[in-house]
Amino acid sequence: MRFFTSRLSAPFVLLLPAFLIIAAVILIPLIFSLYTSFTAYRLVQPASLWQWVGLRNYIRIFSDVDFWWAFGRTLVFLTVALNLELVLGLCIALLIDKITTGQRVIRTIMMFPMMFSPILVGFQFKYIFNDNVGLINNAIQSLGWTDVTIPWLVNAWTANLAILVAEVWMSTPVFAILLLAGLMAMPRDPVEAAKVDGCNPWQVFRHITLPFLMPFVYIAMAIRSLDVARAYDMVKIMTNGGPAGRTELLWTLIARVGYQDARMGVANAMSYASILLSIYFTYYFFRKLASARASLGSMA
Amino acid sequence: MTVFRGLKAVLFSCAALGALAMPAHAEDTQYDWGKFPGYTLKVKLIGGTQYEKLYTRIAEWEKATGAKVEIVSSKNHFELDREIKQDIASGSITWCVGSNHTSFAPQYGDLYIDLKEVIPETTLAEFVPGTLASSMVDGRLVQLPRVTDVSNLYYQKELYENADNKAKYKAKFGTDLAPPKTFDEFKQQIIFFANPPNLYGTAFAGKDEGMTGRFMEIVRANGGDMFDANWNPTFNSQAGLDALQWFIDIYNAKAVPAGTVNYTWDDIGQAMAAGTLAVDLDWPGWAAFFNDPKSSKIAGKIGLAVAPVGTAGKRGGWSGSHSFSVTKDCDNKPAAVSFVTFLTDYQSEMMEARAGNLPTRTKAFADVVDEFKKDNNTYMADMFATWEQSLADARTPPLVPQWIEVSNVIWPELQAAIVGQKTPKDALDTAAEKAKQIMEDAGVLK
C-alpha cells in the first residue's frame, strides 16, 4: 500500500493501462502460442491443446529437411529482395528528388504498387509469367525471339526469380518513399560546401548523401525484413511453394501445416523458428541504425 | 438411456420436420418449410459465381418461413475450411449451416449433426443413393449433397474430324482416331495432337488436392488404391508407379504446358476455353462455360466422352459432392434443417442442373435432360447422359480426417517426379513414408 501512496507510484499507475493492453494483445497470445508449440494441438481437436509433447515438435521440424530448405530459401529471398529493393528504391528516390515539376504526381504514381493487395499482385504476376497464356512468353514469341515456351514458374531459378520480381515490384516504393523523405529532409549546406570544395557528384553522394540516408535505409530495412520474412500471399497464389517445394518459403509451409493440415502445434514451433529469424534481422538493423546515427553525430 | 435418446430423436424429428415429411417434389411449390418468424439463421456458405446463383432462392425460404438468413461468411472452399477449423479451435460455433464437401467433411469431427435423424427417409430416398452414401462419415449423414462432381473428357471435335489428323493417326498407330477409351490411348493422342506453344494435348491440375486426386483416380483405374484395409499407404505400388509414369511421360513429351505443375482448375479451364488444349479431363461445371461463345473460343465445337479406363480396365471415378451441413451447436436446428433441405430440394437441384452442374436428386437428372432436349440443346443433354454414365463408377477420396494432410505430402512428391527431380519410386516411397507417419500419429493405422 505504501508504494501506491509514494511519489514513485504515479508513472507506474499511469503506464498500467498500456502494460495491460500490451499484455492482453501481445504477451498473452505469444506465451500461449509458445505453449502450443509444445503440445500436439490440432485445430479440429480442441482437447489436443492439453496434450503436452515436450520438444517433440521442435525435434521433428529441426530434423525435417523440407523445413530447413524453406528456412534457407526464406533467408536468401529476404537478403536478395531487401538489397534489390534498396538499390532500386534509392535510384528512384534520387531521380525523383531531382525533378522540379510534377514531383507530387510522380510520387503518387510511384506508390501505386504498394496499394495493391499481395493476392492481386500474385495473380497479376502468375498470369504474366504463365507459360501458356502469359504475357512474357507471348511477347517474346510474337517478337520472334524464340518459339520455345519458357516455363517461368516451374524451373527452380526462374520460379524464384518470378516471385522476387513480383515482390520487388510491389515493395520497392516503400524504400523509395522513405529514402525520398530522407533526401528531402537533408540539409543542403554540406552538399553545397562539398561542391565548392571541388567534390564530384559521386563523392558528394558517397560521403555526404549516403551517410545521411543510412538511418532511413536501416529503418526501411527493419520494416521490410519483417514483411518479407512473412511473405505468403503472393507465393501462395503464384506457385503455392511448388513445384516440388522449389519456391517453398517458411510461411507457405507454416500455413499449410497449420491451417490445411490443422497441425497447429507443429506450425507454431515453425513460427517460433521464423520469429527468431525476424528478431535477428530487426536486432541487426537496429544496431546498424544506432551506429549510423552515432556516425552522423560524430560528423556533426 | 438408449431408449430416452431414441425417443428424444423421434420427438425432435417430429417437431422439427413434421412439415418436411411431405414429399419434397419440387413441382409442389406449396411445400411447407415450417414457420420461424423473427428468427435469424446464421450461415457460412461457399462463395463464387457458380455457387451463388442458388442463393437467389433464399428470399423464397425467408418468405415461406418468416425467418431471415444472415450469410456471415462467403468464401472459396479452402478459405472457408480454414475459417471453420478456427471456429472449432476457438469453440465459437455461433452459426447454424455451413457449406461442406465430401473431401472436407471427415475432418470436422462431431461439428455437424446426423441428418439421418432429422430428415425423413422419404426425402432422403429422392437423392441419388451413391451420392448420399458418400455424404456419410462413420455412418452419420453429416451433409446433404448439393451438386456432384465427376470428370469426363471434353475434346475439340475439329481435331478428331480433321481428315489429315485421321490419316496420320491411322498410319502411325494403325487404329482410327476416336476419343480415347483407355489412359494409354489418352496419352498416345495428347502426344499426337501436341504442337506447342499453340496447341497442347491436355493439362492437369499439378498442385494441391487436384494433383493428388487425379493421381488417385489413375491409381484406382490401374487396379490399385491409396490405402489398404488397415490404412497402410499402398499408392507406391506398381499401379501407383504406372500412374505417376503416365504424368511423367506426357510432361516429358511436352504434350502438356510445362507450367501445368502449377495449374489448378481455373488455369486448365481457361486454357481449354482459349482453344490451346486438345482434350481436357474435367468437371461438369465447365460444360456451359466451354460452350458459351462469350467465354470460349471452342463454343459449338466440343465433343464429350466418358473418362478413360486404366490398365485394370476400370474407371477411377474420382468424385465428391458439394453439400450443406447443420451444426450441433445451432440454436434452432429445425430452421437449419429446413433451410438445407430447401437448398437441395427439387427446384434448387433443377436450378443447379440448368447451369450444368450434376444434381443430387434422381428425378432432376431425368427432368433436366428432357428440358434440354425440348430446347434442342443437345450438347447439354449429351453432357448429362455422359456424366451420368461416369457416376456409376464414382468413388470419393478416402473418407478419413487425415485425407487432406496425406494429400499435402503426396502432391509435392508427385511434382518432384514429374519435373525430374526424383525417380518415381523415390517420390512415391517418400510420400508413402510420410503418409504412414500421419496415419500412425492419428492412431488410425491398424
A237-283: pLDDT as tens digits:
898 887 888 999 999 999 989 988 889 999 999 999 888 878 888 88
Q: Three-class SS of residue B328?
A: coil
**How do residues A113-162 score in pLDDT, each as one tens digit?**
888 888 899 999 998 998 877 889 889 888 888 878 888 999 999 999 99
Beta-carbon contacts below 8 Å between A and B: 104
Question: Where do the H-state alpha helices sit in B147-286?
Answer: 157-161, 163-173, 183-193, 208-221, 238-252, 265-273
Assigned C-alpha cell, B40: 435469424
Residues B263 and B255: their CA atoms lie apart, in Å, by: 15
Residue A3's pLDDT is what?
65
For residue A1, what pLDDT band results from cuts at 50, 70 and 90? low
Residues B28 and B32: their CA atoms lie apart, in Å, by: 10
pLDDT at B16 over 50: no
Q: Which string of DSSP letters, residue by residue, matches B389-401? A: HHHTT-BPSP-ST
Assigned C-alpha cell, B63: 418468405
For residue B12, what pLDDT band results from cuts at 50, 70 and 90? very low
Any idea which of A39-53, A198-212, B1-15, B300-314 has the lowest mean pLDDT? B1-15
CB atoms within 10 A of CB A248: 23
Contacts of A126 in chain B (CB under 8 A): 262
Q: Roughly what angle, to the nearest 10 degrees, separates helices B424-441 and B238-252?
A: 130
A97 CA: distance to closest CA in chain B (Å): 42
> Which residue out of A158, A160, A260 would a mutagenesis test of the B interface target, given it has the greatest number of B Cβ atoms within 10 Å?
A260
Residue A294's pLDDT is what?
81
Assigned C-alpha cell, B2: 438408449
Residues A127 and A171: their CA atoms lie apart, in Å, by: 19
Q: What's the rounded mean pLDDT across residues B293-304?
A: 94
B258 touches chain A (CB under 8 A): yes
| Residue B404, φ and ψ in degrees, nearest 5 | -65, -40
Residue A228's pLDDT is what?
83
Residue in this structure with the C-alpha cell 468424385, named with its chain if needed: B319
Could A132 and B109 be called an inter-chain contact, meaning their C-beta atoms sit closer than 8 Å?
A: no
Q: Across-strand partners of B43?
A: B71, B97
A225 CA: distance to closest CA in chain B (Å): 27
Burial class of residue B22, CB neighbours in 10 A (0-12, 13-18, 19+): middle
A173 CA: distance to closest CA in chain B (Å): 29
Residue B288's pLDDT is what?
87
CB B186 within 8 Å of CB B277: no
- Of the partner residues A141, A256, A262, the one whose CB lies closest to the CB of residue B107: A262
For residue B26, what pLDDT band results from cuts at 50, 70 and 90? very low
pTM: 0.80
Share of chain B above pLDDT 90, in %: 74
Could B258 and A131 be called an inter-chain contact, meaning their C-beta atoms sit closer than 8 Å?
A: yes
Those of residues 168-227 in B touching chain A at CB distance below 8 A are 196-197, 200, 203, 206-208
Could B412 and A245 be called an inter-chain contact, meaning their C-beta atoms sit closer than 8 Å?
A: yes
